A = this chain, B = another copy of it.
């Protein structure tokens, strides 16, 4: 039951394997009567789709979701919205040997133990990053619903390897990101870092290596009073879905880990009044106090480990002989997952936020 996420009446069920017939999602609990623009959804999917540039894997997939239910006359009906995305460009031969010689830091080894050797190993099977395609499609629908009520979500590449963007901080950061994504091909705030990030990624690709990084995400327009104390906190809910994105190994909110060295007098966000509304002067808390939104933008970060699929030789263990052996992974892989992952983070956040608004059925 590990592939179902549920909160506040909204649930997301993901299914599929990388090289099976299709991947898909069921979103159950969507509020009825919301208009969904399928063309806009398909455009959003392009941000995640592979094969768009040398920055990503050469595998190409149209990634156009087919909606099977829950939409009628262009609107959500309140019934479960199911969508599937057919797998087309699969070459399963690439993956045969990994069952016996697991790739380091992949799920080949752990998956085989968990599922007693019967899981579908082709392309990582159900562990594949390909599962983020239906996640993105489901989240894209939530993004549209949120946008209709004034909630906008954007993320940027906060860090790629050693290259760092500046953190969120200005009103027009969202425009900058959108502009840079279109013009420079990367979602960053500071346009000057785009070229350096590409260089970092290109360098990893050339050396048959990979590089990780950090995605920072902001959610504008969430009213104060959303979320709950203890286990129903915005942090709990968001992290429970964000760790569902393969390669995410850490999540923090507001100033997060960087706040460990601050004193309370520095970290606390003083209240102020702006245009007759309660605000805070700083936003070190990332818009969340006691698990509940305070009306400031939600800010959080997710760290992505470098993708473990690298072509340079690595040490593994032959599970039959129990001898150490060297392994060279061929296949088609992303040297850096972050350019494609930013839309996935936004999509996951949208599902989580929508689930907390109390409108799910």
Interface residues of A (CB under 8 A from B): 1-6, 8-11, 13-17, 20-24, 26, 28-29, 32-33, 66-70, 72-73, 75-82, 84, 102, 104-107, 109-111, 113-120, 125-127, 131, 159, 161-162, 204, 207, 209-214, 224-233, 235-236, 239-241, 243-244, 246, 248-257, 259-265, 267-273, 276, 278, 280-281, 284-286, 288-294, 301, 303-310, 312, 314-317, 319, 322-324, 360-361
Looking at the assembled complex, report how far the CB atom of A155 sits from the nearest CB atom of chain B, in whole angstroms. 15
Given A1-B360, A243-B235, A26 and B29 contact (CB-CB distance below 8 Å): no
Q: Are B361 and A265 neighbours in the complex by a CB distance under 8 Å?
A: no
Contacts of A10 in B (CB 8 A): 1
Given A231-B3, A251-B250, A113 and B292 contact (CB-CB distance below 8 Å): yes
Q: Are A2 and B28 neighbours in the complex by a CB distance under 8 Å?
A: yes
Residue of B nearest to A333 (CB): B264
Contacts of A14 in B (CB 8 A): 80, 230-231
Q: Are A2 and B232 neighbours in the complex by a CB distance under 8 Å?
A: yes
Looking at the assembled complex, report how far the CB atom of A328 sits from the nearest CB atom of chain B, in whole angstroms. 13
Q: Are B109 and A2 neighbours in the complex by a CB distance under 8 Å?
A: no
Contacts of A21 in B (CB 8 A): 66-69
Q: Are B312 and A265 neighbours in the complex by a CB distance under 8 Å?
A: yes
Q: Are A111 and B262 neighbours in the complex by a CB distance under 8 Å?
A: no
Residue of B nearest to A106 (CB): B289
CA distance A238 to B256 in the complex (A): 17
Q: What are the 10 closest A-B residue pairs judged by CB atoms, nearest first? A: A2-B232, A107-B290, A250-B252, A2-B228, A210-B264, A110-B292, A113-B225, A79-B126, A264-B306, A270-B315
Contacts of A301 in B (CB 8 A): 257
Contacts of A312 in B (CB 8 A): 265
A-B contact pairs, 20 of them (CB 8 A): A4-B28, A14-B80, A15-B79, A17-B70, A17-B77, A72-B118, A107-B292, A111-B229, A113-B292, A114-B225, A204-B264, A212-B267, A213-B260, A233-B244, A236-B239, A239-B251, A240-B240, A250-B257, A262-B305, A273-B323
